[in-house]
Amino acid sequence: MPESGSVLCRDAEKQFNLDFLHLFTNTSRFRALQEDTRQIRLELINREESYNKMFAANPVVQQGLADWLKPKNKENHTRGKSSSASQSSQKSAPAPGRRLGDLR
């Protein structure tokens, strides 16, 4: 083990501090990017809902195309539990390209 005043000990301490600083800055950047992504998703959802309310539009979107925009439900991520509400909503969803009232 190097002595407390040796060059090797000071270099190791300096390297540790640099590594810690690098990790801290990368973590804070990652958190900032996550927050920016969350804000952008919420803004897109808000704009879509506002547009649909204003023009009374019910767009037909292919299933799975815009799923990444919707916030994830925490219930669906728990292990061993399946949400019966999500299963029933999946059964009643119209086929892609059709609206609920279409009989064709």
Owner of token pair 């799975």: 64
Per-chain mean pLDDT for the chain: 73
pLDDT over threshold 50, residue 89: no
pTM: 0.41
Each residue's pLDDT tens digit, 7-66: 788 888 888 888 888 888 888 899 999 999 999 999 999 998 898 888 877 666 667 766
**81 pLDDT higher than 60:** no
Whether the CA torsion 45, 50, 53, 54 is positive or negative: it is: negative
Backbone angles phi, psi at 29, to 5 degrees: -65, -40
Per-residue pLDDT, 41:
94
